[in-house]
Structure 1
């Protein structure tokens, strides 16, 4: 047997799982009683809820309105990874006090190597008792799973199962296929949804049924993502252990003068460090899958946390983890630290005087699939590093990107958010009554000084929109918008200031009450295509003859 094989054979993994952690963290952060039903939402759907909410019928994946219908007294909070990490820090510290080498997969889930801990405490039962008691000291409940492979240990922790060596495949076989989606630390993303949907349509219902398919057939039909899922189901190594140390010189350090006392300062420094580290990783041709975040405090202490990831970290993911970790250290979550009204100016008893990012385990850069970066190839990676470098120099708000936000009006369907930050729109998966559907106008809410191109009499010129627009019928009478979206005449000409143009086409107008439940104004919208100019999206208040330009289809 090879050295790598012998090394792998002796490794077993312990997973410590705190159920419903996003909901527990939200309750702890706001001192909400454990008897009150609470749910945490992501994208308008429940991603986690506590036991009282489940008892009332709330389930993961249900929409907010459905959850509140089932449980009218339900307390709802939005997902906040920073809050989850900050509130989990006391739990992580408690585990560090009884075992060595803990690694954070996400807030609420910690893994560690089993052999050393089992030898120190004398056996499985003793180790589990120590881990559960340590977490209970900070008023949190947990379950412990032990298995040969990390994915199996994580799934076993959901039942508190401690498996014998070699029992991974047998334990996994009867489990439902949907468990692959239960833990995003294993597999996540649209590829997983597509894989599970296809397997269900093929009649595959359990992890064992998927494991019985020949590996060659899985690789041929489902690609590399399906192969990774297949290895998990078979209880095999889903990622080869690292057999070489990271290249020297990848560690990055920042001395903080003045010391960091606020989260916004720490996030700024952390993002800059993440960009520097990933520039060095890219130059070395490697990507990080285990990251140590180390902070040295003003009082001489050093705090350290290791993050282990299922996939290679991008610069954005690294910056996020650093920000979350610093949030936990600076706020002193669980120790009674105060927050200001904006939740930003929190201070700790010991400020951070230096910060270190150290890649502990790396893989070849080829492991970074395009889907993990979010755009195509190395050019996209270089563009992202450039944007992050600008943010490191000028601040997070210096680079903003567009994100779908839902809503009725064109100006409200897109919002700009700082590059690299999560954005969860209220609803983007439904069509609101009166909403503008595609294709969307290329220019939204143009100012009065906006100039658009008009071709008239063989000449092309730029014309300002001016104060308003009038639609005229064949008798040059101004057309009025009715309350039901009806017009007082057929549009044949449009007047833009002193310029009059013919109309080569127009859409049927439609009314939009603007949200009558909060006093919205009733407006009528329509699209017109002037002769020799770009199409326009117009709107007018019911009963008015003057129209405004809400969008230009350039």
Structure 2
């Protein structure tokens, strides 16, 4: 297997999309931690897993970029297309990594070394991207060889892997972090030490996940070579009239087809590990791409890859006209026992067996999908609780079916966070208000961010000022975006206003000389 790897691809793609020059250090953050960084940022001390504050303290000029898998996949399509111009059988493992069978191509071009040189030049010329290439027996070993730009001789993969750190098992999307940590605490520091254990002992202690990791450490393939040939009727075909030309429409179609595709496989006791995506345009052009995954693909995983591929085709200039036909085909399958539904799933007594919550979630999900089918993909949102100080910045709405990933950790300490309870209604745009003292003058802030006088009345738009029955605060709310000077700090107060009915509001104020107040939220 030959693997072509583009180092730091999430950082490269994010910097390209944001127009960040190559000489400026850049890092991609998810949940306030570094998930990828450029070589320039690494030379300044930035590392994966580092908190944003620590990374910026080490590299003040660091460009902070957001994590976006769809963007990474879309911008990677020209790289995959460049590889496909030279060799056939290209499989996208993930954005930044492609794999190809090496035998036929190496024989045609005069050897593995010559093929690696040609591919490196091809990607640099066609896509303008630097890459590294590795060759070894199996995808896992070839990926590690690509990280080191090595061509491993046939039959020597186990010797190549033996001295490498056990941490190499925790590849992206593998989810082996806990297993690797446990193996390290047991004294197994290298892949060779882990591979030296007996397979029966590994499976009895670590289960199927440990057995798969043991196969990889031993230089064998992810799964045994005997795989079932997928029946042809498991392919899913969808025709479009009018042709599909928009990314948001493609994302919606991906969700629907992924559910059908996965259900058909599950009905035969199978799961897909290599997904073929084939498209035909209205002008008769045929496009194809194969995505490989180490673990069986879930419906969300299938939908993500279809959406990523469509974004690459539609936005990357690969299509000269709309898509009139789409086909999903299982290029490789494995037994899907781990993905089959439980015996009692869907039974009226499932709630007594502890499965009621899962069943209710599945029914709710189907209902939301039906609503999307009637109103469109951007019609249903669910809330994700992020970190932050104010209620507006802590809640983020995500379209149903998209990844519900947190951008920052809510459990982190947030100085100035509003104490419980939070307002039931939070306005997208803060509502202007007048907060008055006993003399009828606007309440100002002191240099210490305290109220210069107690609030006596609050005037809302279109209403006469209401008397304040009770109030609490102030709490510092941090800097106001875009503000500068002495008025950049905000404070929040809670107030109960007289009237029919009484009204409890969250007020935000700033300014010592010219105070400005707004209503940020309303309590039930």
Q: So what's the TM-score if we normalise by structure 2?
A: 0.77
What pairs up with 1:316-355 in 2 under 5 angstroms? Answer: 316-332=300-316, 349-355=320-326
In structure 2, runs of 5+ residues without a counterpart are 342-354, 427-447, 455-465, 482-487, 496-503, 510-518
Alpha-carbon contact 2:386-2:407 (below 8 Å) kept = yes
Deviation digits for residues 16-51 of structure 1 (CA, Å, limit 9, x no counterpart): 111111122223334433222222222222211222
8 Å contact 2:416–2:478 — kept in the other structure? no
Q: CA deviation at 1:325?
A: 0.7
Quick one: distance in 2 between partners of 1:388 and 1:134? Answer: 43
Distance 1:147 1:395 in 2: 46
Give how far 1:121 is off: 2.4
> What are the within-5 Å matches in structure 2 for residues 155-554 of structure 1?
155-181=144-170, 183-185=171-173, 187-188=174-175, 192-332=176-316, 349-368=320-339, 384=365, 387-410=368-391, 412-422=393-403, 423-435=405-417, 444-445=423-424, 512-516=475-479, 519=488, 521-523=490-492
Equivalence for 1:25? 13
Structure 1 residues 113 and 250, CA, compared in 2 at 3 Å: closer, same or farther? same
C-alpha distance in structure 2 between counterparts of 1:151 and 1:549, whole Å: 52
1:120–1:548: structure 2 CA closer, same or farther, 3 Å change rule? closer
Q: Partner of 1:529 in structure 2? A: none
CA separation of 1:100 and 1:58: change in aligned 2, threshold 3 A: same
RMSD of aligned residue pairs (Cα, Å): 3.8
**Is 1:132 the equivalent of 2:113?**
no
User: Which residue matches 2:45?
Assistant: 57
Report how many aligned residue pairs link the two structures.
457
- Distance in 2, matches of 1:71 and 1:292, equals 42
Distance in 2 (alpha carbons) for counterparts of 1:512 and 1:37: 36
2:398 match: secondary structure: strand
Give the structure 2 partner of residue 148 of structure 1.
137
Taking a change above 3 Å as real, the CA distance of residues 149 and 68 of structure 1, as seen in their structure-2 partners, is same
Per the alignment, residue 109 of structure 1 pairs with 97
Secondary structure of 2:28's counterpart equals strand
2:32, 2:53 → 1: CA distance? 9
Cα 1:377–1:483 shift into 2, 3 Å: closer
Residue in 1 that maps onto 2:84: 96
Q: Note closer, same or farther for the CA distance 1:382–1:115 as it changes in structure 2 (3 Å cut).
A: farther
Aligned-partner SS, 1:47 = strand
* C-alpha spacing 1:97/1:389, structure 2 compared with 1 (3 Å): farther
CA distance in 2, matches of 1:225, 1:105: 20
Aligned partner of 1:5 in structure 2 is: none
Note closer, same or farther for the CA distance 1:243–1:279 as it changes in structure 2 (3 Å cut): closer
Q: 1:121 to 1:550 in 2, by over 3 A?
A: same
1:235 shift after superposition:
1.4
Q: CA deviation at 1:101?
A: 0.5
1:222-276 Cα shifts (integer Å, max 9, x gaps) = 2222222222112123212353221232222222222222212222222222222
Q: Report if the CA contact (8 A) 1:15-1:110 is conserved.
A: yes
Asked whether the equivalents of residues 236 and 257 of structure 2 are also in contact (C-alpha less than 8 Å), the reply is yes
What's the counterpart of residue 348 of structure 2?
none
Other structure's SS at 2:378 match: helix
Question: Using a 3 Å threshold, how does the CA distance of structure 1 residues 429 and 549 change in structure 2: closer, same or farther?
Answer: closer
Partner of 2:485: none
Query: Normalising by the residue count of structure 1, what TM-score does the alignment of the two structures yield?
Result: 0.73
Question: Displacement of 1:538 after TM fit?
Answer: 9.2
